[in-house]
Structure 1
Amino acid sequence: MRATTRSAPGHLAIDLDVTPEAVPIMRSIVCDHLKLWGVASTSDRAALTVSELLTNVLRHTRPVARTGTRSARLTVTRLPGVVNVCVRDFDPALPELSYPAADDECGRGLHLVMAFADDFGCSSIKGGKDVWANFLIGGDGTSGPEVAR
């Protein structure tokens, strides 16, 4: 697995080759950073979102012709009142919400992200897209119903 990591207080950026083995490693790294930043209350939801977004890169983007890998940039940023998670990939096709049958094994990723996150969206960029999710936090690092929405 190839990954380049840059970290500063409140900001984490990782450029990586997305592989099935990389997904749980990225989930752990995100949880550890959120705990370090004092917002552990968001770690489970953010980590699950990272898993879903990186899995979408694996399933729905084309490999880079030169390397045969699927590349992405994962960023996690703590801002006042919110943690932002963003996965940038280099395939311009925007994600599409699917409606799987009850016995389908795939197709629920974006539904899960929308359920975990307080806000969610995607943006086209030159040569790709950003898919992001926000998780509200209180002044004491908590999240949940007590945070005004």
Structure 2
Amino acid sequence: MDLDAVPEAVPVIRSIVGAHLRLWGVAELTDRVTLGVTELLANAVRHTLTDPHTGARHARLTVTLLPGALNVCVRDHSRVLPQLNSPRLDAEHGRGLRLLAALADGFGCAPAPDGKDVWANFAIPGANTDRSPTATPLHRSTP
């Protein structure tokens, strides 16, 4: 789903993701996944520059049902890769990746031709698979 990464879009996108999880029969992941998506999109909102022609902050959210896991990936147009920080106790920002690490069964980032991908995998409880969700490849287009 291509989107304009603005704060007002995040609740709508959370609802769309939750509906897909229910449709796919993995509703038990809804709370963890939608909070993870919120964090990924918040980073895109905060760190992606606006397009000088349109004023939009372009990003792409991909949600992929894999054998034994669900992958969510946000691609934005910033080439700066996020880093896991240890913010001060009074800092207002800087905890998103730590929260994502606590919610997801695996997460990471990778450069993309037009920016970067930041992704998280969520294991499906009770799924019978030999594949570890942390070893599942990213769902993204190849350069």
TM-score (norm 1): 0.82
Of residues 39, 43, 68, the one that matches 2:55 is 68
Inter-partner Cα distance in structure 2 for 1:148 and 1:101? 31
1:13-61, CA deviations, whole angstroms, 9 ceiling, x for partnerless residues? x100011100111111111110111001111111001100111011112
Letter in 2 for 1:71: H
TM-aligned CA deviation for residue 140 of structure 1: 5.7
User: What's the RMSD between the two structures over aligned residues?
Assistant: 2.0
Contact 2:68 2:133 in 1 (8 A): no
Matched, 1:106 2:93: yes
4+ residue runs of structure 1 moved beyond 4 angstroms? none
Matched, 1:42 2:29: yes
Of residues 81, 90, 115, the one that matches 1:94 is 81
Letter in 1 for 2:92: E
Distance change in 2, residues 1:126/1:148 (3 Å)? closer
Give the corresponding residue for 1:6.
Answer: none
Inter-partner Cα distance in structure 2 for 1:82 and 1:73? 20
Inter-partner Cα distance in structure 2 for 1:148 and 1:66? 39
TM-aligned CA deviation for residue 98 of structure 1: 2.1
Name the SS of the counterpart of 2:21 in structure 1: helix
Letter in 2 for 1:67: T
Letter in 1 for 2:70: V
Letter in 2 for 1:100: P
% of aligned pairs identical?
57
1:52-97, CA deviations, whole angstroms, 9 ceiling, x for partnerless residues? 0111011112112221211100010111100000001111111122
Q: What runs of 5+ residues in structure 1 fail to find an aligned partner? A: 1-13, 142-146
TM-aligned CA deviation for residue 139 of structure 1: 4.7
Of residues 67, 70, 75, the one that matches 1:80 is 67
Give the corresponding residue for 2:138.
Answer: none
Number of aligned residues: 131
Inter-partner Cα distance in structure 2 for 1:64 and 1:97? 27
Q: What runs of 5+ residues in structure 2 fail to find an aligned partner? A: 135-143
TM-score (norm 2): 0.85
